[in-house]
Chains A and B, each alone.
Chain A
Amino acid sequence: MTSYKAQRHVSLILRYVLLVLLVLVWLFPIAWIILASLSYNNTGFVSTIWPEQFTLSNYTGMLMNHQYPFMDWMRNTLLVSTVSMVLSTFITISVAYTLSRLRFAFRKKFLQIALILGMFPGFMSMIALYYILKSFNMLNLAGLTMVYVGGAGLAFYIAKGFFDTIPRSIDEAAEIDGATKWQVFLHIGLPMSRPMIVYTALTTFIAPWVDFIFSGIILSSSGNPKNYTIAYGLYNMLHSAKGTSTTFFTQFIAGCVMIAIPITILFIIMQKFYVNGITAGADKG
């Protein structure tokens, strides 16, 4: 029995060692990014792991930069993501609820069409989206928000999977008691889907912080960096002109670290809801 125990002990130690090694491998590049953000560099390229010279000037430089107004970007993104979060969450949840709990004539058709639409690569729509928003004269943050919200109607899969797992008998009981479907939705459906609401809200909140493609298409023609969101703004720092990327490269890294921190924290909070949501969706398909 002692040998078995010793064996277990060895196995545990080995597993811990493996885990620590893996964590090191995984976090090594991240640690390097943070180190790079603290290094003094004027060549636009960081070639060492350990900075030759530590400095905080990248951070202060990024915050004070007039050309690339970091604080404006933060404000813009916060605005877009908050509005988009509220609207998208409502839309996603109500679509998912409708498709999962209500029965109506074109339900099956809707599900099929949604599936088909989801298979067209999103990039195909970029030029069209640009001109649609332009004809509304909305090539701005409001237009960008509309694009994010407009896509919410098709992002119902995970939430629908979640609703599918809740037994329908609860609704039916309430309906027999004379509740309308709206009341059931309001007083039973929504409260029960709290974890799903949190999950959807967090994902839709994070999306504008990491999207640099659509925001670039829609916001770039203004040519005014004050109107950018953070992801496009930072990305644009690297890709706007010859010779300048060297000046802004380390500031870019510092800016990235600054926004990565809050997003990471949100993500860690979201983890739990994420797992619940995905598995609920995966269970049912």
Chain B
Amino acid sequence: MKLWQKFAVGSTALISATVLAACGSSNSDSSSTSSKGGVSGSVKLWVDNTQVSSYKAIVKDFNKKYPDVKVKVTQSPNGSSNAKTDVAKDPAKAADVFEVPNDQLGQMASAGYINPLSPDATKTVKKNNVASAVKGVTWKNKLYAFPFAMQAQTLYYNKAKFSDEDVKDWDTMTSKGVVATDFTVPYNVYPIFLSAGTEMYGKSGEDLKGTNVNTQAGVNAMTWYAAQKHNKGVMQTSNVLNQLKSGKAGAILDGPWDAVNIRKLLGKNFGVAPYPTVTIGGKKVQMQAFLGIETFAVNSNTPTKSQKAAATLAEFITNKESQLRIYKDQGQIPVDKAAEASDTFTKDPVAVAVKTMAQSSHSTLMPKMPQMATLWDQAAPLINGAYSGSIKPADYMTKLTAFHNAVSKKN
């Protein structure tokens, strides 16, 4: 597949019409010329566009320790939340180390886009990071990425509109003011199903048949969505920040990535709290959120001679110092045990709220099943259907069963 393409180029010129040719699709891995002792190679790193400068600084430190590794930091084409599609477009052209949220790891691992962590790295990651982060990167008993931050949505509110007491319960809140969120984004509202008592791919998050939404609990959740449409204190919006700023909404459900913005918008009225309790099916339960783990993974298409360098880089940029730096620059909540215990961290209300949300009583770790793609796709119209009333209560069960079947299908 190589020589002939060059010849094809030659014949192109002559066979004037039907012609086209190509040369050198470099797909095969080069022979392993592993360096002795020191780590060397050249590695491309994809990070989110706002974080480029932070990571350039971290890489500078990395190069002090590993001067033989050439690192190129660029922004990932469509952001880390689209890592799966960006990598899938052409794994060979994607970065050697890239940022990816943990729910995409299962799909990437089964497709063969990413390598498992080496036994040494596995030990380090397990030793340094909190248990939920380790679980977040584990897929079929192997670790597939280096965790560096946790993300869970929390409640951001305007202290002029809600008291600290108000925000403890959804019903109290929505009777006194307006809470805004986007019901069309399942990331925001799917956890109501979890609050209602259903599970997502079982307790382990790896059980294909474990999405038990076609139950009374599932119907209760659907009923809750439908009720919010008529709740005057709940606002459907695609732009929570704008509503918070204009004062039309007093509180929003949002993630730590927007915390800096929200602080600017609200100034001294800035308030943040864990999710309130909600009443689902006549019972008061904790409103849940998804717990996501931000990670760096190593591309399996990386040439063999740079694999070690790539893994070393991924480990370095997720170590305690790097996590703290990203926390300082970007407000990303660290998962390193030591970093979490640090002083600045415990004084930050956002970090404290996210930490609270990270407990298993308040959140569910996003599963890594490859079927998650289908789940996101199908959950959005399902929840929106219940919310907007286009799915009638009588049809809840049939729709939930159809949903359950769609997301439980083996490949």
Contact = CB atoms under 8 A, between A and B. Distances in A.
Quick check: do A and B touch in the complex, using CB within 8 A? yes
Interface of A: 42-45, 47, 67, 130-132, 134-137, 139, 217, 220-225, 236, 239-244, 246-247
Contacts of B94: 221
Contact of B52 (A45, A67, A130): A67
Contact of A243 (B52, B238, B244, B257): B257
B77 interface: yes
Nearest to B79: A241
Nearest to B259: A243
A130 B265 contact: no
Q: Is the interface of A mostly helix, strand, loop or mixed?
A: loop
A130 B44 CA distance: 20
B23 A239 contact: no
A242 B25 contact: no
24 contacts: A42-B265, A43-B242, A43-B265, A45-B242, A47-B246, A67-B50, A67-B52, A134-B25, A134-B90, A137-B24, A217-B89, A220-B78, A221-B89, A221-B94, A222-B74, A223-B46, A223-B76, A224-B74, A240-B78, A241-B49, A243-B258, A246-B241, A246-B261, A247-B50
B95 A135 contact: no
Contacts of B48: 240-242, 244
Given A130-B89, A240-B49, A223 B261 contact: no
A242 B257 contact: yes
Contacts of A243: 50, 255, 257-258, 261
A43 B241 contact: yes
Contacts of B64: none
Nearest to B260: A243
Interface string B15-49: 00000101111000000000000000000101011
Given A135-B5, A136-B22, A223-B76, A241 B90 contact: no
Contacts of B46: 223
Given A42-B265, A244-B49, A239 B78 contact: yes
Contacts of B76: 223, 240
Contact of A134 (B93, B239, B245, B255): B93
Interface in B251-275: 255, 257-258, 261, 264-265
Nearest to B17: A106
Which 9 A-B pairs have CB atoms at the shortest separation, nearest pair first? A135-B22, A223-B74, A45-B239, A241-B79, A220-B77, A243-B257, A43-B241, A45-B242, A43-B242
B107 interface: no
A267 B282 CA distance: 62
A222 B258 CA distance: 27
A247 B330 CA distance: 13
B81 interface: yes
B306 interface: no
B356 interface: no
A242 B99 CA distance: 13
Interface residues of B, number: 39
Contacts of A246: 241, 258, 261
Interface string B80-108: 11000010011001110000000000000
B223 interface: no
A47 B52 CA distance: 31
A85 B262 CA distance: 47
B214 to A, nearest CB: 32
Contacts of A247: 50, 261
A241 B22 contact: no
B389 to A, nearest CB: 25
B80 A132 contact: no
Nearest to A106: B17
A239 B48 CA distance: 11
Contact of A239 (B24, B52, B79, B261): B79
B81 A242 contact: yes
B312 interface: no
A200 to B, nearest CB: 24
B242 A47 contact: yes
Looking at A47, A222, A241, the one whose CB has the most chain B CB atoms below 10 A away is A241
B304 interface: no
Interface string B46-61: 1011101000000000
B300 interface: no
A240 B246 contact: no
Contacts of A240: 48-49, 75-79
Given A221-B90, A223-B74, A242-B257, A43 B245 contact: yes
A155 B95 CA distance: 37
Nearest to B44: A223
A242 B80 CA distance: 9
A61 B358 CA distance: 37
Interface string B318-347: 000000000000000000000000000000
Contacts of A139: 93
B264 A42 contact: yes
A241 B81 contact: yes
A157 to B, nearest CB: 22
Interface string B110-121: 000000000000
Among A132, A134, A239, the one with the most B-chain Cβ atoms within 10 Å of its Cβ is: A134
B24 A135 contact: yes
B14 to A, nearest CB: 19
Nearest to A136: B22
B23 A43 contact: no
Contacts of A45: 238-239, 241-242
Contact of B79 (A135, A136, A222, A242): A242
Given A223-B44, A243-B258, 14 more contacts: A43-B265, A45-B238, A67-B52, A134-B93, A139-B93, A220-B77, A221-B86, A221-B94, A223-B76, A236-B77, A240-B79, A242-B258, A243-B50, A243-B261
